[in-house]
Amino acid sequence: EVTDPKFSAKWNAIVENAIKLIRKYSSDINIIVGSYWNNSIDSMKDLDKPYDEHIVYTFHCYDPFLFTHQAAYWVDEMPRDFRIDYPGSVPKYRSEIKRLGLEYMQTYEEVKTEKFTPDYFMGRFAEAVRVAEERNVPMYCGEYGVINLASAENTLNWYKDISSAFEKCSIGRAAWSYKGVDYGFIDGHLDGVLDELVKYL
């Protein structure tokens, strides 16, 4: 995962070289390409135009970050006892992310509703969907999910909303993750909602 946007041009050059090498052996295999900011959807527009008709643009989605990463031990500013609900209160998200010093991740100032809805994700996807349509490239969300410290009910709410947006935008996806790695489905914390949740994957 490329992080710093200053490497965008170098990354695009690496992608081009890799595609040329792959095409020597396979002329029509689909090649999945992501951008910087850890495959952020906001950086997808900075990928070069597809080199042929067998390119797929990928991104990761963990929005809203404050919910999907609550109490995440690898986020330095995140308290280990922090909890927040989804769809929750957008004003609370704004105040909490400011209080924690995580505004570099998201501010939620663009959200006009009191609570998060599927339209939040539609707004997050809109620019990338436009770019993909202009370039005739399919989109694939290669990672999305909720940390296993969130409540099962809130996690189900989140999957319902993001799934609705994926369906409307015809975006393929793969949840992170099936087992373990702090985001799994089968460690027991989702047992009460799992039968319903899998409908939205």
> Does 108 reside within a domain?
no
> Does 121 reside within a domain?
yes
Active-site hit among 1, 16, 134, 167: 1
| Domains identified in the chain, total number | 1
**Nearest to residue 45, comparing CAs of 121, 135, 155, 180?**
135
Task: Provide the pLDDT for residue 84.
Answer: 98
CATH number where 159 lies: 3.20.20.80
DSSP category for residue 40: B
Expressed as residue numbers, the domain containing 39 is 5-81+117-200
| Residues 8 and 40: beta-carbon distance below 8 Å | no
> Does 89 reside within a domain?
no
> Does 161 reside within a domain?
yes
> Does 95 reside within a domain?
no
| Residues 61 and 146: beta-carbon distance below 8 Å | no
Active site annotation includes 196: no
The answer, yes or no, to whether residue 1 has pLDDT greater than 90, is no
> Does 13 reside within a domain?
yes
- And the tokens for 151? 């409540």
Average pLDDT over residues 157-175: 98
> Does 107 reside within a domain?
no
Question: How many Cα neighbours within 13 Å face the side chain of 53?
Answer: 1
Alpha carbon distance 117, 159 (integer Å): 11
Question: How many Cα neighbours within 13 Å face the side chain of 124?
Answer: 26
| Separation in Å, CA 147 to CA 43, 74, 142 | 23, 12, 16
| Predicted TM-score (pTM) of this structure | 0.95
Sign of CA dihedral 106, 110, 116, 120: negative
> Does 102 reside within a domain?
no
133-142 per-position pLDDT tens digit: 999 999 999 9
pLDDT over 90 percentage in the chain: 98
59-68 per-position pLDDT tens digit: 999 999 999 9
